Structure 1
Amino acid sequence: MTKSVHVEISGRVQGVGYRAWCEGEAKRLNLSGWVRNRRSGAVEAVFSGEEDAVDEMLKLAGEGPPCGLVQKVEVIGEVESYDGEFEVHPTE
């Protein structure tokens, strides 16, 4: 079964390699989707793939890279399945 979620991650998540770390973890879990910085200081992402892998990515997103400090991972909602490689998008 597949799952696709839109999330916002807040805390010290910019300037710490969060997007690159997120891309690596998502690819390791064979997820599709994307990640980008928000001007608000948060990071926004879509994780799409097998339900267990998405759930694992949500858990990992709450830990983040060693230099980061995640305060909150908010699931904004479920979205349509995303196909293709996991990508890093420009800041919005």
Structure 2
Amino acid sequence: MSFVKTIDMLQEDYTIPGELVTARLHSLFEKSEKRWPYGIRQTNGKNTWSWWKQEIITKSSNDAWRYKIESEFENSFFDPDKDKPLTWS
């Protein structure tokens, strides 16, 4: 997972404390996935970035999750009637 590797590099390069990374986990996800970190934390309590990283890797290794993400990507498209691109001046 590229964003996990990016977080690891940023944490190392800028000496970002693991607590800061784990406190911002919800901002890495979109839509219904945003609730996932809250549910995991409620069930398992406060944990380290290493622990969370393993949970994210485990979740993303799940075939059902991967199928859902791939399906959403395949079904997404640009609709000029609904999606307004940025207008350049």
Normalising by the residue count of structure 2, what TM-score does the alignment of the two structures yield?
A: 0.33
Greater strand share, structure number: 1
Higher RCO, Cα 8 Å, sep 6+:
1
Normalising by the residue count of structure 1, what TM-score does the alignment of the two structures yield?
A: 0.32
Greater helix share, structure number: 2
Higher-Rg structure is 2
